[in-house]
Structure 1
Amino acid sequence: MKLNTKFLGEVEIAEQDILTFEQGLLGLEDEKQFVLLPIDTDTPMALLQSLKHVEIGFILAYPFAFKKDYSFEISQEDREELQIEKEEDVLAYSIVTVKENFQDSTLNLLAPVIINGQKKCGKQIVLQDNKAYPLRYPLQTMEGSAK
């Protein structure tokens, strides 16, 4: 099926690529269906695009490429809700707040987006230890060889 996106224009997606967020995202509880689209193979980023509204799309980044010691526990309740059976089925992303000068953009490390790629479901969680990671972590502090 064809989907108009906020950042990538019109793209072709498969029905099996649709992700369901039963609780929506924080502040967007009515948005339940999204698709995760790669932006560029050279960057640890993707687009999380709403199926319902073209104007609702988020740039996501793989947080571990920017902060190597980033880690958190997923609660048992969230594990059950996301039907997590194996850790390798789980992908964690951070929402990027894109600034006019891209170098000034930030990652939300406090509320990661967790996706179970096998079960095609996701949830944005707020980390309980909210002092461990900031809401706005500078993107320019990318560590390692990722771009």
Structure 2
Amino acid sequence: MRIQTQRFGTLVLDQEQLFLFPQGLFGMESLRDWALLPDFENPSVAWLQSASRGDRALPLISPRAFFPDYRVQVPNRDLTSLHIKPDAEIYVLTTLSADSRGLVTNLRAPILINLGRRLGCQVVSETDLPIRQPIGHSEADLQSTILSALPKAA
């Protein structure tokens, strides 16, 4: 599959690179096929690129890299869509955006990815975590990589 993207130019993706999000993502429910791409300039960041919309790419981080005590509590009904087995390798990632404080991440609605099954979903945590948690100790290169690509939040 070939896709023209705003961020990465032309990408050639095969099925093994795609993840199915059966319910889509919040605000993008109709977009179900996504590629998880590394950011070669900054290993702290990955990108979730829509396979059907070249203008949709989300910067992601592992929240535990910035918040070691981060734990997400997810309702079982949300986990069933990932077909999780006891030995499943699940990635927990959170989206990045920018506001007047700098970079912030959404700890309340993480993205879960089952690597083995190539399935993903975005969930709302059962705990009262912040939607816009500042990343206070982010590195300068993380800032420059992300801030240049993000619209300012109101």
Q: TM-score by structure 1 length?
A: 0.84
State how 1:13-92 maps to structure 2 within 5 Å. Answer: 13-40=13-40, 42-86=42-86, 88-92=88-92
Letter of the 1:111 counterpart: A
Report SS of the residue matched to 1:105: strand
Letter of the 1:139 counterpart: I
- Output the CA distance in 2 between the equivalents of 1:68 and 1:6: 33
Provide, for residues 35-83 of structure 1, a one-character-per-residue CA deviation record: whole Å limited to 9, x for no partner: 1000127422111011111111100111111101000233222222100
- Output the CA distance in 1 between the equivalents of 2:16 and 2:55: 22
Query: Which residues of structure 2 form unaligned runs of 5+?
Result: 143-154
Fraction of identical pairs, as percent: 27
Residue 134 of structure 1 is matched in structure 2 by 130
The alpha-carbon deviation at position 15 of structure 1 amounts to 1.4
Pick one of 76, 100, 104 that aligns with 1:106.
Answer: 104
Contact 1:109 1:135 in 2 (8 A): yes
Letter of the 1:138 counterpart: P
Contact 2:3 2:52 in 1 (8 A): no
Contact 1:18 1:33 in 2 (8 A): yes
Contact 1:106 1:136 in 2 (8 A): yes
- Output the CA distance in 2 between the equivalents of 1:77 and 1:41: 37
How many positions carry a matched residue from both structures?
140
The alpha-carbon deviation at position 92 of structure 1 amounts to 0.6
The alpha-carbon deviation at position 89 of structure 1 amounts to 1.3
Measured on the aligned residues, the alpha-carbon RMSD in Å equals: 2.2
Q: TM-score by structure 2 length?
A: 0.81
Letter of the 1:135 counterpart: I
Provide, for residues 93-140 of structure 1, a one-character-per-residue CA deviation record: whole Å limited to 9, x for no partner: 0000146x9x811111010000001101100001122x2x21111123
- Output the CA distance in 2 between the equivalents of 1:23 and 1:39: 25
